[in-house]
Amino acid sequence: MSQNDADTTYGMSAEGLRHRTVTGLGWSAAQQGLQQGLRFLFLLLLTRLLTPDDFGQVGMVLVFSGLAQMFCDMGLGAALVQRKDLRREHIDSVFWANVAVGALLTVLFAALAGPIASFYRVPALRLLALAISAGFIVGALRVVQYSLALRSMDFRKLALVETTAVLLSGGVAVWMALAGFSVWSLVAQLLLQSFVSTVLFWATGRWRPSFSFDFGALRELFGFSFNLLGFGLLDHVVTRSSHLLIGRFIGSPALGIYSRADQLMLLPVTQMAAVISRVMFPALSAIQDQVGRVRQIYLRAIRTVSLATFPLMLGLMITARPFVLVVLGEQWADTIPLLMIFCLSGLLMPVGATVGWIYTSQGCTDTMMRWGLVAGAVRLTAILIGLRWGIIGVAAAWVASGYIVLWYPSWTIAGRLIGLSWSRMVRELSGNFICALAMTGAVAALGRAVPRDWPLGWLLAAQVTLGAVVYIGLVMIFQRNTINELRALWAEFRRRRAGAGEGR
């Protein structure tokens, strides 16, 4: 891969950037739509086939492995995407640094397998941790190839590689669960997805490392990556602290229930946000000096994210009981109140997460890190207070801390970097929220109106259908500007794809 190949995104014209952004949104939407469907299907199948204890055991190990996994990247992958004057020595040095750290983490995590099992007082975790340790070296080999594809906004390749990995790993996991491998089917899914995506990125990527390493080039990236790594580690510790405490003091079945409810909420919101997030980071980084354009593009993005996530979260909250009992089964009934609580958090989580685009694209990861320290302290305090009331208390404390303490300052601090006020953000989102709230009222009214002896499957189907019709109707009437923006993007994507086809 040449120097020009690495910097194509940053050297392009405004029209070229728009072309890649629009095309990238199309591919990202297609990828995330298909991936979300596949992930959700595999999640439901594995939830049906496995027990809360199976998911809880894997969740216990992931608290520690997820923390260690971040050191494989060290924030350097994002630094490759964000840096304007990227050179060959930057790329080679990041690769060899990642490989060395990945190999070290594999050895260290394997050595810690016993202590992890002892901490939770679950001996079976030792073998699980040993197996999961293999993922660190595989993940380290993936970082540079993935980052270069993202930097060049090659979303077609990203879509094909990652969808294939999800399909193969999920299929193998379901087969293993049917064959009676229980918790090992979840471990296989984790490892195989990482392995397949790494192999495919190398098979389709043009860059190959040279045997060179430059500490100076690495130091040039550390100013950005060090703070990003610190924020990521802090965020993981805070987010996973609830899993750690539940697993240690309440047990793996309770953690399995808690983590299933959390994942059911996170799956749609994170995938919806990822459609735009993957495109926005390199796109906003490429125009980071043009604050007005960054602000304009950011506002369009959060309107689009909220258009999809507001109705999803409010709808899932109001239909939680029939959804869980029909789709997951009676054995997961304890997730119903947790899912309803988490949906309140998921309502603003995808939009709140977009402030990370502002910090990273503007190169202000130091500000993000400082705010993360404050937010983390608040979150941890809330979790410790909520633990007294079990998993319901932990979930409620997590949501309350987000709304009461963190929502306003987290948006305000990031918004100042691009001249965007908190009130402007709220105004941009209010229309979509009101439409989603009205839809929720209609769905709730239907639930109260139907006879109590109605089959839950019929009730769920009726509520989903009514919610979709009401929400789409309201958006078409009151949010026509947002709809017109999406239509224009779709039309432009089709034109550009057609033009590319004729060019070939």
Rounded CA-CA distance 376/230 in Å is 12
Q: How is 258-271 classified by DSSP, letter by letter?
A: HHHHHHHHHHHHHH
CB-based contacts of 56, cutoff 8 Å, min separation 6: 247, 251, 252, 253, 254, 255, 256, 257, 259
Rounded CA-CA distance 310/348 in Å is 8
Q: What's the confidence (pLDDT) of residue 119? A: 92
Rounded CA-CA distance 371/361 in Å is 17
Rounded CA-CA distance 225/230 in Å is 8
The neighbour count for residue 398, using CB atoms within 10 Å, is: 22
Q: pTM of this prediction?
A: 0.74
The tens digit of pLDDT for each residue in 141-189 reads: 999 999 888 887 777 788 789 889 999 999 999 999 999 999 999 999 9
Closest Cα to residue 120, out of 256, 25, 315, 251? Answer: 251
User: Who has greater pLDDT, 472 or 11?
Assistant: 472
CB-based contacts of 397, cutoff 8 Å, min separation 6: 382, 383, 385, 386
Q: Specify whether the CB–CB gap between 362 and 288 falls below 8 A.
A: yes
The neighbour count for residue 208, using CB atoms within 10 Å, is: 10
Question: Minimum mean pLDDT among 228-232, 333-337, 430-434, 492-496: which range?
Answer: 492-496
Q: What's the confidence (pLDDT) of residue 434? A: 95
Mean pLDDT of the 211-230 span: 79
β strands within 59-177, DSSP E: none
Q: How is 293-361 classified by DSSP, letter by letter?
A: HHHHHHHHHHHHHHHHHHHHHHHHHHTHHHHIIIII-GGGTTHHHHHHHHHHHHHHHHHHHTHHHHHHH
Angle of CA points 320, 260, 352, to nearest 5°: 80
Rounded CA-CA distance 135/180 in Å is 23
The tens digit of pLDDT for each residue in 253-299 reads: 999 999 989 888 877 666 666 556 656 655 665 666 777 887 887 88
User: Who has greater pLDDT, 350 or 63?
Assistant: 63
